[in-house]
């Protein structure tokens, strides 16, 4: 079972939390949600993969697709991963994996205003 939740850890930021099993169908949902964040005018996207229990190899394109959205987000894309997934899911050619207590602990809801 896969769950995707969206919240706002800071003003202008959106966080997509993924839990469960990431398959190709779920990966498309993740990409659509990330595109909606960009379209909504947010300045930063946090992709939190720490709750994933498993994934299909074909579904990893969702992580790559989300990191490529950074060009349209002034503050970029942060990928939060647990130790077990850091090399398997996050592209190694980019330094996009940043696991920070600030990214995980803040549950403050903040508006993401469109430009």
Residue 112's pLDDT is what?
42
Q: In sequence order, what are the beta bridge partners of 47?
A: 16, 79
Residue 98: per-residue pLDDT: 42
Residue 86 has what pLDDT? 52
- Look up the CATH superfamily of 2-105: STAS domain (3.30.750.24)
Q: Is the pTM of this model over 0.75?
A: no
All structural domains of the chain with their residue ranges:
2-105
Instruction: Tell me the average confidence (pLDDT) per consecutive run of 10 residues in the chain, 115 residues long.
Output: 91 94 94 94 93 87 91 93 59 43 39 39
């Amino acid at each position: 079972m896969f769950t995707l939740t969206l919240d706002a850890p800071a003003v202008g930021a959106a966080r997509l939390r993924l839990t469960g099993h990431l398959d190709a169908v779920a990966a498309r949902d993740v990409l659509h949600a990330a595109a909606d964040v960009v379209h909504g005018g947010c300045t930063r996207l946090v992709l939190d993969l720490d709750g994933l229990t498993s994934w299909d190899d074909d579904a990893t394109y969702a992580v790559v697709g989300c990191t490529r959205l950074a060009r349209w987000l002034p503050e970029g894309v942060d990928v939060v991963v647990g130790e077990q997934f850091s090399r398997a899911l996050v592209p190694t050619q980019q330094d996009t994996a940043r696991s920070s207590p600030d990214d995980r602990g803040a549950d403050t809801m903040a508006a993401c205003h469109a430009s």
